[in-house]
Amino acid sequence: MAITVGIVAGEASGDLLGSRLIRALKKHRPDIEFVGIAGPKMISEGAKSLYSMEKLSLHGYGFDVLKQIPALLRIRKSLGDHFIANPPQIFIGIDAPDFNFSLEKRLKKKGIKTIHYVSPSIWAWRKGRMGKIKRAVNHMLALFPFEPALYEDNGVKATFVGHPLADEIPLYPVVQEARDLLKLPKSSLTIAMLPGSRVGEVKQLAELYVETAKKVSMVQPEALFLVPLITRETRLIFEKVLYASINQAGEKHHPHFKILFGHAHLAMQASDLVVVASGTATLEAALLKRPMVITYRMPWFSWTILKRMNYLPYVGLPNILAKRFVVPELLQDDANPTKLAETILNIVNDKAIMDDIRIEFTGMHEMLRQNNEEKAAQAVLAYLT
């Protein structure tokens, strides 16, 4: 008789994690059936999706988002009813904490063991959330090595399973390979600038990046700036700022920009230094062994609230993992063209700093490389014996 595992992923990154976990579990137990909410990658591995994963994503702003919440709550209740009427041996919630924790809490009360895959960033912002997690989760699968201790101190079993990016990215990436693929000049100083994937982020950072490039180019005229943007909207926002600057300065005297449609990974791999907003992209840059400057801006009111919630002196994942400032962070008022350009030039012109950063990132990569999908599968299998 087949074993049933309930599973919910709410976005593309969760779908990828879920598909790898399903594949690894099926190597050991081909008799497992996965039922819940799955994306295309999980479905291709055999998961049955009772609702479209897209229904878990809220679209738009303000009132448009509020209008979608009742439908989301109905899906969560209906899914919970299904699992209570047809109890799986375990339930696995993959990320999507706002949706999954409430569902997990309800199922746990009914005696169904719950596993949550990917810890929310309670260590940085929301330690008060631990009580809710304890009521919802039997076992947390954590991507970072410092996370399990936080949970076990609060009575929640946790396992460090490593980060999937650390398994995917080679320990020693070949820079020239990426430069060849992007058809870049061989000798130019190359700086990747990643303003983020959201419209609001690009609006906040586009002018900062263009003005910073101008200042860097005054010292390093051959510098080339790569800007990968993943949507038409973000590309139009950045191009509007860039073309306004070119019209003002004249194309001959303007920094050299190459705007890419996607290819953020290649842009970082090909660069001498990365300028990046905080988030997973900072970890990817570290795994590619790229020196970086982390910089971020947001509306003043949001910054005031976030600053009060922050429990750590740093926001970038590389610094959090190292427990020190391996790379600079220029945030809010410090995120200005003069400071950012000076910081970039200080790093790229100091070989010792560049080498120290790469050595630190290599050690970080080795620590996070754990054969993630197999280690996660082993933690789950313990509940299926």
pLDDT (tens digit, 9 = 90+) per residue, 260-278?
998 999 999 999 999 998 7
**Confidence band (pLDDT; 50, 70, 90) for 59?**
very low
Which pLDDT does position 61 carry in this prediction? 44
Q: Which CATH code is given to the segment(s) 175-368?
A: 3.40.50.2000
Kindly provide the b/e burial profile for residues 284-323, where b requires at least 16 CB atoms within 10 angstroms of the residue's own CB.
bbbbbbbbbbbbbbbeeeeeeeeeeeeeeebbbbbbbbbe
Name the CATH superfamily, with its identifier, for domain 3-162+370-381.
Answer: Glycogen Phosphorylase B; (3.40.50.2000)
Q: Pull the structure tokens for residue 384.
A: 């299926």
Within the chain, which residue ranges are assigned CATH 3.40.50.2000?
3-162+370-381, 175-368
What would the mean pLDDT of 165-172 be, rounded to a whole number? 95
- Could you tell me which of 291, 293, 287 has the C-alpha nearest to residue 357? 291
Q: Pull the structure tokens for residue 372.
A: 């993630």
**Interacting residues of 313 by C-beta distance below 8 A, sequence separation 6+:** none
What would the mean pLDDT of 206-212 be, rounded to a whole number? 95
What would the mean pLDDT of 325-354 be, rounded to a whole number? 94
**Confidence band (pLDDT; 50, 70, 90) for 62?**
very low
Residue range 112-154, pLDDT digits in tens: 999 999 998 875 555 567 888 999 999 999 999 999 998 998 8
**Confidence band (pLDDT; 50, 70, 90) for 384?**
very high
Residue range 307-338, pLDDT digits in tens: 665 656 778 899 999 999 999 999 888 989 99
Residue range 143-152, pLDDT digits in tens: 999 999 989 9
In this predicted structure, the answer to whether residue 303 has a pLDDT above a threshold of 60 is: no
Which pLDDT does position 56 carry in this prediction? 76
Quick check: 380 and 92 in contact, CB under 8 A? Answer: yes
Which pLDDT does position 60 carry in this prediction? 42
Phi, psi values for residue 175, rounded to 5°: -65, -45
In this predicted structure, the answer to whether residue 163 has a pLDDT above a threshold of 50 is: yes
Quick check: 6 and 31 in contact, CB under 8 A? Answer: no
Is pTM beyond 0.95? Reply is no
Residue range 63-118, pLDDT digits in tens: 455 667 788 889 999 999 999 999 999 999 999 888 999 999 999 999 999 999 99
Which pLDDT does position 302 carry in this prediction? 61
Q: Pull the structure tokens for residue 20.
A: 């790898």
Average pLDDT across the chain, whole number: 90
What whole-number percentage of the chain has pLDDT above 70? 90
What would the mean pLDDT of 22-46 be, rounded to a whole number? 96
